[in-house]
Amino acid sequence: MTEKKRESTTSKPVTTSSGFAIPTAYDDRSLRDRNFEPSRDLGDAGEYPFTRGVQPTMYRGRHWTMRQYAGFSTARESNERYRYLLGRGTTGLSVAFDLPTQIGMDSDCALARGEVGKVGVAIDTIDDMETLLDQLPLDKVSVSMTINAPASILLAMVMVVAERRGIGWDKLNGTIQNDILKEYAARGTYIFPPKPSLRLVTDIFEFCSKEVPKWNTISVSGYHIREAGSTAVQEVAFTLANGLEYVRAAVDRGLDVDSFAPRISFFFNAHNNLLEEVAKFRAARKLWAELMRERFSPKSTKSLALRFHAQTAGSTLTAQQPENNVVRVAYQALAAVLGGCQSLHTNSRDEALALPTEDSVRIALRTQQILAYESGVTMTVDPLAGSYAVEALTLDIERDARAMIAKLDEMGGALAAIETGFVQNEIGDAAYKAQRAIEEHEDVVVGVNDFADSEGPALPILKIDESVERDQVARLVEFRRRRDASTEREAHLRSLEALDHAATNGTNLMPVIVDAVRCNSTIGEIVSTLKKRFGEHQDQGF
């Protein structure tokens, strides 16, 4: 950047992605104008409204879970990556599935061609899940799965694997994303229309509250909303509105809010503006606690506490000068920790180019470990509490997000706002403005639109061999051949008939899905059975 350019930018208002002004120096006017009194309004960590954190001691008592997201190629190769990560200090696993699995297709489906094992691991059968989880202590390691439309099936597979190993379901600890609303708004891996999809979400809430009590039954995701281009305020507002929609659906089913709300978790993006991101996390906790108390009056304070996983912002990573991504990820991870996350995934430097190599994954994990053990930020609960800039931004985000949620309420709630295209259009407008700011050099991306120079040595790139798809399809075909040539075939067919019947009579689908998995039904077979009754969602193209 030239000196002239630097001078020209200093005269412009300094604002965050959500348009909030940042004070140029010590300035508590915005706090005084709102009669903000820290000792009165902040409260203590571990107490309502949880602005300062969900645990009284936060990281002084226990570090966040270092949950590295991984999955590629075959179940065997992904399992090797998980054991590699566990051997180097990862404390929780997060499974990435390939696109066919995410939309409920078996690997030999014609539409899956060319996508098998590419952006995650291919899982078609209970045998694949057995291999994926081989030698992993399911009663000791927390397993998170980024899966939405077929979340019930993947959860059922984990349960059946545990069952076969003699591990009680009450010992399982993990998370399924299971957040279908954001798929319609920002990501696109939906299968069924919204109403039957919400039914599946609620079925999981009801079933797990009794059978798998330690499992987090949903991770309401703002991450993908932000990756699609939203502002920080939109990320908070749309995510919490989706969460309220799920709670309302479960309460309308007749579930006691305290039977499932403590197992709701959230998933947020750790983006570039460090102070705004810290404020965003604090505002989200406070606003969720207030909204849950106002709307559902739970008896347990655990139903008010927003626990969240954070992931550094994949959309900020650049293919140009990819080593710069190590620095970006470190600062984004710092924001998540200063904001009080319960678990964290740090992206790898090469993810703008391909799936990460082992070397890149190790650097990403070491980034978290340096934060935890060397930086000193874990020694203080809510380290930035009382900062005039952070407290003002926290109030700003809370105020504007609450106003946006009220606007969605006027439309009939999050689902209605998604169905009309309002949410999608708001995110699209924000994404357009952000891209224009980069193209017009209002915002600098180091190494892309400024400070560009000749590229250094290229990073080694992980490539998925074409044989992965061929071998996965061969295993699937052989799995079906063995099943259909044995006495298991009749049990398999009966399980799908029972699933079809349950889909029409309104009973909870989880027990019959678990039974279909036990009887060696594939993901594609289970989804196809449900499609006959539920239909498929067609994007309206807003």
pLDDT band at 104 (very low <50, low <70, confident <90, very high): very high
pLDDT at 40: 78
| 283-309 per-position pLDDT tens digit | 999 999 999 999 999 999 999 999 999
Whether 230 and 319 map to the same domain: the answer is yes
pLDDT at 350 over 70: yes
Whether 268 is in a domain gets the answer yes
Angle at which helices 510-518 and 523-534 pack, to 10 degrees?
140
Q: Taking residues 513-535, what's their average pLDDT?
A: 98
pLDDT computed for residue 12 by the predictor: 55
What does the alpha-carbon distance between residue 282 and residue 374 come to, in Å, rounded to a whole number? 24
The residue from 439, 458, 491 where one domain ends is 439
Using alpha carbons only, how large is the chain's radius of gyration in Å? 23
pLDDT at 414: 97
pTM here is: 0.93
176 and 52 part of one domain: yes
Segments of 352-464 assigned E as strands = none
Q: How much is the pLDDT for 542? A: 63
For the stretch 393-410, pLDDT in tens is: 999 999 999 999 999 999
Same domain for 479 and 432: no
- Structural domain contains residue 233: yes
The per-residue pLDDT for 420 is: 95
* Residue owning tokens 């006017």: 29
Pairing verdict, β 142-145 and 308-312: unpaired
**Mean pLDDT, residues 258-278 taken together:** 97
Mean pLDDT across the stretch 213-235?
97
State whether 498 and 403 are in the same domain. no
For the record, the structure tokens of 33 come out as 């104008």
pLDDT of 22 reads 78
pLDDT of 5 strictly over 60? no
Range of the domain at 508: 468-534
Residue 49: asked if its preceding bond is cis (omega within 30°), the reply is: yes
Secondary structure letter of residue 450 according to DSSP: B
Give me the residues paired with residue 309 across strands: 267, 343
In the predicted structure, residue 4 carries a pLDDT above the cut 50? no
For 108-151, the pLDDT digits (tens) are 999 999 999 999 999 999 999 999 999 999 999 999 999 999 99
In-domain check, residue 12 = no
User: In terms of domains, do 431 and 506 share one?
Assistant: no
489 and 403, same domain (yes or no): no
Residues 30-74 pLDDT 10s: 788 778 887 777 889 999 999 999 999 999 999 999 998 888 889
Q: Does one domain contain both 373 and 421?
A: yes
pLDDT band at 460 (very low <50, low <70, confident <90, very high): confident
169 and 46, same domain (yes or no)? yes
How many helices (H) and strands (E) the chain has is answered by: 22, 8
Given a contact cutoff of 8 angstroms between Cβ atoms, the answer to whether 67 and 343 are in contact is yes
499 and 350 in one domain? no
Note the pLDDT of residue 91: 84
Q: Is residue 271 part of a domain?
A: yes
In the prediction, which pLDDT does 32 show?
A: 81
CB 516 within 8 A of CB 495: yes
Whether 280 and 210 share a structural domain: yes
Model confidence at 415: pLDDT above 80 = yes
Q: How many CB atoms lie within 10 A of CB 506?
A: 8
| Domain total of the chain | 2
383 is a domain residue: yes
Confidence at residue 539, expressed as pLDDT on a 0 to 100 scale = 83
- Comparing CA positions, the residue from 105, 176, 172, 106 lying closest to residue 144 is 176
Question: What's residue 27's pLDDT?
Answer: 74
Can you tell me the mean pLDDT for 462-473? 92
Phi/psi at 65 (5° precision): -75, 125
Task: Please state the φ and ψ torsions of residue 442, each to the nearest 5 degrees.
Answer: -75, -35
Tell me the CATH number at 85.
Answer: 3.20.20.240
Computed from CA positions of residues 182, 185, 186, 187, in that sequence, does the dihedral angle turn out positive or negative? positive
Cβ-proximal residues to 16 (8 Å cutoff; 6+ apart), any chain: 22, 232, 273, 275, 276, 393
Query: Residue 144: what are its φ and ψ, rounded to 5°?
Result: -105, 140
Do 397 and 521 lie in a common domain? no
List, in sequence order, every beta strand (DSSP E) within 1-120: 65-70, 92-95
Taking the C-alpha atoms of residue 473 and residue 390, their distance in angstroms, rounded to an integer, is 52
Q: What is the pLDDT of residue 10?
A: 46
Residue 456 lies in a domain: no
How much is the pLDDT for 13? 57
Is 9 inside any structural domain?
A: no
8 Å CB contact between 414 and 242: yes
Does the pLDDT at position 421 exceed 50? yes
Residues 6+ apart with CB under 8 A from 205: 217, 218, 246, 250, 255, 260, 263
Per-residue pLDDT band at 457 (split at 50, 70, 90)? low
- Mean pLDDT on 349-366: 94
- 124 domain residue, yes or no: yes
3-state secondary structure of 527: helix
Greatest extent of the chain over all pairs of C-alpha atoms, in Å: 79
Within this chain, do residues 78 and 190 fall inside the same structural domain, yes or no? yes
